[in-house]
Amino acid sequence: GAGVSQSPRYKVAKRGQDVALRCDPISGHVSLFWYQQALGQGPEFLTYFQNEAQLDKSGLPSDRFFAERPEGSVSTLKIQRTQQEDSAVYLCASSLLTGISNQPQHFGDGTRLSIL
Amino acid sequence: DAKTTQPNSMESNEEEPVHLPCNHSTISGTDYIHWYRQLPSQGPEYVIHGLTSNVNNRMASLAIAEDRKSSTLILHRATLRDAAVYYCILNSVANSKLTFGKGITLSVRP
What is the pLDDT confidence band of residue A102, given thresholds at 50, 70 and 90?
confident
Task: Give the confidence band of B104 by pLDDT, cuts at 50, 70, 90.
Answer: very high
Is it the case that residue B92 has pLDDT exceeding 90? no
The whole-number pLDDT of residue B15 equals 96
Pairing mode, if any, of strands A65-68 and B84-91? Answer: unpaired
In this predicted model, what pLDDT tens digit does every residue of B22-53 receive, in sequence order? 999 999 988 999 999 999 999 999 999 999 99
- Region A33-60: mean pLDDT is 95
pLDDT, tens digit, for every residue of B44-81? Answer: 999 999 999 999 999 999 999 999 999 999 999 999 99
Average pLDDT of the segment spanning B91-109: 88
Q: Which amino acid is at B54?
A: N
A-B interface: how many C-beta pairs under 8 angstroms? 66
Q: Report the alpha-carbon distance of residue B55 to residue B104 in Å, rounded.
A: 20
- 8 Å CB contact of B45 and A45: no
Instruction: Check if A53 contacts B (Cβ < 8 Å).
Output: no
For a pLDDT cut of 90, what percent of chain A falls above it? 91
**To 5 degrees, how large is the angle CA B90–CA A103–CA B60?**
70
* CB < 8 Å to B43, chain A: 4, 91, 93, 107-110
pLDDT reported for residue B60: 96
Please write the tens of the pLDDT for every residue from A66-84.
999 999 999 999 999 999 9
pLDDT at position A98? 64
Cα maximum dimension of chain A: 41
Mean pLDDT of chain B: 93
Determine the pLDDT at residue B91: 87
Does residue A100 surpass a pLDDT of 90?
no
CB < 8 Å to B102, chain A: 41-42
Of B67, B57, B66, B75, the C-alpha closest to B21 is: B75
For the residues A29-51, what does the mean pLDDT come to? 95
Mean of pLDDT over chain A: 94
Taking CB atoms and an 8 Å limit, are A91 and B101 in contact across chains? no
- Is residue A40 left, alpha or beta, with left meaning phi > 0 and alpha meaning psi from -120 to 50? left
Reply yes or no: is the peptide bond before residue A8 cis, omega within 30 of 0. Answer: yes
Beta bridge partners of A22: A7, A76
CA angle, A36 then A37 then A38, to 5°: 120
pLDDT at A88 over 90: yes
Nearest-by-Cβ selection for A109 from B32, B42, B91: B42
CA distances from A26 to A7, A12, A41, A54, B85 (A): 14, 26, 26, 18, 24
Of A31, A107, A109, the CB nearest to B96: A31
